A and B are shown apart, each in its own frame.
Chain A
Amino acid sequence: MKSKDNKWVRIRIYVTGVFFVLVLCVIFLRAYQLQILEGNRLSSLARENYTGSVVLMPQRGTIFDRNGKELAISIEVGSVYAYPEAIKDKTGTATLLAKTLRINRKYVLEKLRSARSFVWVKRKVTPEEIKKVGELKLSGIDFTKESRRYYACKETAAHVIGFASQDNRGLEGIELQYNSYLEGQEIKLTRIHDALGRPLLFDGLRKENHDPFNVRLTIDKDISYNARKALKKAVEETGAKSGVCIVLRPQTGEILAIAIVPEFNPNIFWRYKPQDWRNRAVTDCYEPGSTLKAFLLAGALEQGVITPKTILNCERGTYRVGGYVIHDSKPYGMLRVSDIVKVSSNIGAIKMGQRLGAGRFHSCLKRFGFGERTGIDFPGERAGTLKPLRETSLLGQNTLYFGQGISTSPLQLALAFGAIANGGHLMKPFIVKSILDQHGKAIREFGPVVRRDVISPETARTVRMILEGVTEEGGTAPKAAIEGYRVAGKTGTAQKVDPAERTYSDEKFVAFFGGFAPSNSPAVVILVVLDEPKGTPYGGIVAAPVFREVGYLTLNHLSVKPSTRYSSPRPVQRKPKATVQSPDVPGLVPDMQGLGVRDVLNKSRRLGVRVVVKGSGFAVEQSPAAGTPMRNGKSLTVTFRPPC
């Protein structure tokens, strides 16, 4: 009986053991199926349930001016979109949206009736508009965040900065040229969320290499604004078709300002004509007219064929060359070279050119950079034209001496003036100072590059001295003279070619003034071009005042000291009194006005008068007044003020 029971127990144990083994086998097989065979699929299914992604809009890098002030900056704004299939009352929705977003109802309705599953209704709207649309609670209408570009200085430096599209891609100017640095990438962050959908953890921080770079320009926004304002005023007053003003540093080739009229506001660039977006300083070419005489002078002096005192016959204003008669605006006889440039005589220029020779002048112009691109980091630059000498007629060779038969971009001309200003070095212009990462560290920097030496420093100095005469009385541009500074420059008034008649027009001109200040140590080169001014077309009349205004404000902004010392109005009025001082009479108060502190102290010691000194500089006031009786024991109070 006992052995029967034991047998039964053993059987039960075996059965149970087998059962557990079988169960374990099933579990192992199931585990194998879940983990090995379907592991990847199931884990991704699970991940989908507890992870989500957050898309960060691509940011665009900031553009700064040379002083670190923001010129272009991107911020997030809302955009309204629709799922047309989810909208039942399309007409009603379109009416409400059109009213709230201030857009055309027909346009909205067309979008909502579209067969596409997703349409933009209005992109980059104001927060108020987003709020209003949200309050409407329309089905099938939603918002998203997008990055929008803002240009803080509006029209100022707009042609340099350019603009970016709605999709944050650079379309013009620096925005286009440096798009690869400025363009940010869309960042996708994966997050883990809980059962309620609340985000629990992001899988990582923002990737550094996804951040866009910032660009720092050589442009100064204040100088740009002044240039823009002065140029705009001149274009409006003269009725010119367009205008260009360039301000640059001759020693480095840094562009401080480029102002173009007609102007545009890059915040709403689509409202302007595409031709208004063009940076005419690099894309347009003009005949430079008499401004070229400055380079003829430089070439002739460099080759030693003339000196500033060389006298040439200006033929009383009429000179026959190659079967054509060349005229001067006024008849001149024998003139010194310096006076030929000062009064801008065409015949004098031909005489200078004949001494230099067409070949040497041609190579001189090439050395000054005419007919070749400057290499500026800006899209759309044109090289201008400088015809080979063999393709130029005798008349063409002679008219080239006063700037006909050649075309140049305003930037080329400004840089050529820069070469005279900086002692003979032709610089490569640049408009971007550095490219910065998000921490402000420069990853790429740009500096001055000398393209070549064009003339010797001595020649450059002589040319600067002669060009100073242009802005003096009797020169062609006294209106370019800046009070307190020595200014040198050259005017130009170029006839435009009439495309219909293929001859020079008597009605259409381009007025130029290119120059630098202070001429003894140039801090800035400024070039002004006015295309087709109405009325008086002369560069010295219409372009020179722009030079003066921009030059004065720029020199002031750059803290360039005037070469002439000025004193404030009050000391000016009182100083003469001091220079003719009344004689010192014993017992009467001495006259101290106009004297320095040391002189006043010496004089008072000599006369035995006690003095109280107030301020420093020159004596402008005293109490008691000079000539009144001096009371015993009473001191004389003298107020000093520094000269300006």
Chain B
Amino acid sequence: MKLFRLSAIMLLFFLLAGIAHVWVNFKRTQMGYTLTQLKREILEMEEYNRKLKLEIAFLKSPEFLENKAIKEFGLQHPSVKQIVFLP
């Protein structure tokens, strides 16, 4: 009877250990997929970020801004008398 109980406990232990092993492997695989996906997203976002930076740089280039200011908004460079220097 004692031997039977010990065998049952051992069996249960091995069963649980097996399930835990499978579950850990399953989670590891799942996390692997998630990680890969995230890494790809990071790379894509980094590239997207670079493209946006380039666009900002083009839009902020002095030539573009000056054309916009003069042709579209009718602005002009201030004369020295119109400039106020703040302390």
Contact = CB atoms under 8 A, between A and B. Distances in A.
Contacts of B78: 556
Given A73-B54, A75-B51, A221-B62, A483 B80 contact: yes
A70 interface: yes
Interface stretch (B2-10, B12-20, B28-36): B28-36
B36 A566 contact: no
Interface stretch (A194-202, A392-400, A506-514, A595-603): A194-202
Nearest to A189: B39
B62 A225 contact: yes
A63 to B, nearest CB: 11
A203 B80 CA distance: 62
Contacts of A205: 39
Interface in A26-80: 56, 69-71, 73-76
Nearest to A72: B57
Given A225-B63, A553-B77, A644-B82, A199 B54 contact: no
A644 B62 contact: no
A74 B50 contact: yes
Given A154-B61, A221-B61, A202 B83 contact: no
A73 B53 contact: yes
B85 interface: yes
B54 A152 contact: yes
B47 interface: yes
Nearest to B47: A76
B23 interface: no
A201 B32 contact: yes
Contact of A75 (B32, B54, B61, B63): B54
A568 B82 contact: yes
Given A566-B81, A568-B82, A73 B50 contact: yes
A562 B80 contact: yes
B60 interface: yes
Contacts of B56: 70
B82 A154 contact: no
Contacts of A198: 33
B1 interface: no
B84 A644 contact: yes
B63 A569 contact: no
Given A56-B43, A70-B53, A156 B62 contact: yes
A117 interface: no
Contact of A199 (B36, B63, B79, B81): B36
A449 B65 CA distance: 36
B58 interface: yes
B62 A556 contact: no
A566 B85 CA distance: 11
B35 A69 contact: no
Contacts of B82: 568, 644
A150 B51 CA distance: 10
Interface in A605-644: 642, 644
A150 B54 contact: yes
Contacts of A76: 47
B58 A152 contact: yes
A552 interface: yes
Nearest to B59: A152
Residue from the set A156, A201, A222, A559 with the largest chain B CB neighbour count within 10 Å? A201
Contacts of B58: 150, 152
B86 to A, nearest CB: 9
B14 to A, nearest CB: 24
A202 B39 contact: yes
Interface of A: 56, 69-71, 73-76, 150, 152-154, 156, 191-192, 194, 198-202, 205, 221-222, 225-226, 482-484, 552-553, 556, 559, 561-562, 566-569, 642, 644
22 contacts: A69-B60, A70-B54, A70-B57, A76-B47, A152-B54, A153-B57, A153-B62, A153-B63, A156-B61, A199-B36, A199-B40, A200-B33, A202-B35, A225-B61, A483-B79, A483-B80, A553-B77, A556-B78, A566-B81, A569-B81, A642-B84, A644-B81
7 closest A-B pairs by CB: A152-B57, A225-B62, A201-B32, A70-B57, A484-B80, A566-B81, A200-B32
Given A75-B54, A201-B35, 10 more contacts: A70-B53, A70-B54, A152-B61, A153-B63, A199-B40, A200-B36, A566-B80, A567-B81, A644-B83, A644-B84
